[in-house]
Structure 1
Amino acid sequence: MFKGSIVAIVTPFKNGKFDEKAYGDLIQWHIKEGTSAIVPCGTTGESATLEYDEHYRVIQVAIEAANKKVPIIAGTGANATEETIKMTKEAQKLGADASLLVCPYYNKPTQEGLYRHYKAVAEAVDIPIVLYNVPGRTALNMLPQTVARLAEIKNIVAIKEATGDMKQVSEVIRLCGDKIAVISGDDFTTFPLMLLGGSGVISVTANVMPKDMAQMCALTAAGKIDEARAIHYKLDILNAAMFIETNPIPVKTALAMMGMIAEEFRLPLCEMSKPNRDKLKDILSSYKLI
């Protein structure tokens, strides 16, 4: 479940509401293109602007659309432990295969507080848990020693590592061995992270080029390094384009240009500036995506 190209899927909106039809179509496309698993309600899914009922509905639609063809790893992290437990229990009840839990943001707990947070959630549910370390969003770095402590807990089985720091990734892998799967949280680090011993990526870029991302991960895992490296460099410009502005603005704009979803966001996110939009359009054209 925790290997290969896992898409951090967007949440399409239409006239202010969750667009279930577009969402289901995206998931069917990902299954055909070789995506290994789906993450609903992550950062790319605009989870911060979903109401509780919407959050659960997005997870439920993902589970129903995937129909057990690929696993669903539901984003249920929050900055309060009780809230995280509540949402993770609901995701388990709905039938999610695992849960992705971002480090508690804004309140900046200590490493001991982080450990107790994840331990409390793990003890409250039975499904596998994926830790999510993204200091750029949370203002908090989960240190390798803390990851190693958490890896001793039975149902904490993976970490999405989005520091972009290969030294830290290397230390996590050295300390944890095979007790935890290490997954890239930044598309541009997927190839080097897998060479260090990581198992794949939770990807933004896979939203628009799922087949290529899946192939790169499969080739790297199979030891076909030269072929994988070629795809890594092929995707390099697109990976950067997905962060011309705050994620998920570029990726949703790209999917709208590709005719797959409506170009709609929730405030405080808004449409791209014209210069960046033009730049993104040129890049998508160069990849023959539009």
Structure 2
Amino acid sequence: MSIIDTKLWTALVTPLQENGDLHLDDLRSLVRKQEEAGNGVLVLGSTGEGLAMGLEDKKQVVQAVSELDTETPIMVGVGGFNHQKQVEWIEFCQQYDVDAFLLVTPLYAKPGPKGQVEWFKTLLEASDKPCMLYNVPSRTGVKMEPLVLKELADHPNFVAVKEASGSVEDYQNYRKSAKDIAFFSGDDGMLPFFAMAGCEGLVSVVSNVWPQATHRYVEWCLDGRGPELLPLWQECSDVLFSSPNPIPAKVLLKEKGWISAATLRPPLTGDEVEDLSLLKNADNLIENWYNENILNK
């Protein structure tokens, strides 16, 4: 199954034990829940705390998910500011059964258009897998330049863009620069708007805690029914982003019993969540919507 065929990718959290070590059994369990919902899985993105993980931990995550007997497509995050390290990471991951890479705009340095083109081009050439380029200026400090899409649109490994600028105008400008490239919303709450503008799907945080319901949400949005869902999903997704991602998601996953601990790597901490009732209420609202509109239909 290609990147484009998979309409919902879950940017998976990385479960940890109370002492901060990886909890690989919980990780495998979360992948199974996404498999049951028919979702793809992105590991070691920002939601997976990829930049807070040491190299050995990251390797264990890739090994653990790639060794599962699953049909769930696996995408691996590639992001940082040391170019050679990103190339080496791609080369390591390609030894395992992974399906795609998410290539993030370089962090901190704020490169110009030509620097961005060179960064992405060399990473695309290092890969023998299809790649999704990721624009997220709120995290990287720089917006992906349209020149990147224009210059690289014909590269065989460049097949999709994850657009998380939060701007429909920017999205439309990118589409003009690469008309044959698939676009995915990187913001759960923006999907109804991006769907009306022709996007292919969603890379989601909220599907960590609502995998089945979010799968249906994506289907409805791509069918043009997004506006009727917007009030509910905007309210509930806002709760999942009321503290820095992935803090609320991990706290709610622990509350639901899906992971053993809500441990995060510093500088993130679950203490940022001061009112657990907001998360529980959002969980109930989505569960009720799913039961009434899907299960009982």
What TM-score do you get using the length of structure 1 for normalisation?
0.92
Match of 2:84 among 64, 82, 85: 82
1:33 aligned partner: 37
Question: Structure 2, unaligned stretches of length 5 or more?
Answer: 289-297
**Following superposition of structure 1 onto structure 2, how do residues 172-187 of structure 1 map, counting pairs within 5 Å?**
172-178=174-180, 180-187=181-188
Question: Structure 1, unaligned stretches of length 5 or more?
Answer: none
2:61 aligned partner: 58
User: Which letter does structure 1 place at the counterpart of 2:87?
Assistant: I
Judging changes above 3 Å, is the alpha-carbon distance between structure 1 residues 160 and 265 closer, same or farther for their aligned structure 2 residues? same
Q: Residue by residue, what CA displacement relative to the aligned partner does 1:223-277 show, whole Å, maximum 9, x if unpaired?
A: 3x23x44344332212101110100001111101111111111111111335343
Report if the CA contact (8 A) 1:63-1:96 is conserved: yes
**Following superposition of structure 1 onto structure 2, how do residues 77-116 of structure 1 map, counting pairs within 5 Å?**
77-116=79-118
Displacement of 1:282 in angstroms is: 3.4
User: Which letter does structure 2 place at the counterpart of 1:13?
Assistant: L
Displacement of 1:148 in angstroms is: 2.1
Displacement of 1:144 in angstroms is: 2.2
Match of 1:158 among 157, 160, 164: 160
Aligned length: 283
- The DSSP-based 3-state class of the residue aligned with 1:269 is coil
- The DSSP-based 3-state class of the residue aligned with 1:18 is coil
Displacement of 1:68 in angstroms is: 4.4
Whole-Å Cα distance in 1 between the matches of residues 24 and 276 of structure 2?
26
Report if the CA contact (8 A) 1:13-1:19 is conserved: yes
Judging changes above 3 Å, is the alpha-carbon distance between structure 1 residues 188 and 107 closer, same or farther for their aligned structure 2 residues? same
2:15 aligned partner: 12
- The DSSP-based 3-state class of the residue aligned with 2:270 is coil
Whole-Å Cα distance in 1 between the matches of residues 125 and 271 of structure 2?
42
Judging changes above 3 Å, is the alpha-carbon distance between structure 1 residues 281 and 219 closer, same or farther for their aligned structure 2 residues? closer
User: Which letter does structure 1 place at the counterpart of 2:86?
Assistant: T
Report if the CA contact (8 A) 1:9-1:40 is conserved: yes
Judging changes above 3 Å, is the alpha-carbon distance between structure 1 residues 80 and 273 closer, same or farther for their aligned structure 2 residues? closer
1:235 aligned partner: 233
Report if the CA contact (8 A) 2:67-2:97 is conserved: no
2:141 aligned partner: 139
2:50 aligned partner: 47
What TM-score do you get using the length of structure 2 for normalisation?
0.90
Judging changes above 3 Å, is the alpha-carbon distance between structure 1 residues 276 and 107 closer, same or farther for their aligned structure 2 residues? farther
1:212 aligned partner: 213
Judging changes above 3 Å, is the alpha-carbon distance between structure 1 residues 138 and 274 closer, same or farther for their aligned structure 2 residues? closer
The percentage of counterpart residues that share the same residue type is 29
What is the CA RMSD across the aligned residues, in angstroms? 1.7
Whole-Å Cα distance in 2 between the matches of residues 169 and 187 of structure 1?
15
- The DSSP-based 3-state class of the residue aligned with 2:71 is coil
Report if the CA contact (8 A) 1:77-1:103 is conserved: yes
Report if the CA contact (8 A) 1:144-1:168 is conserved: no
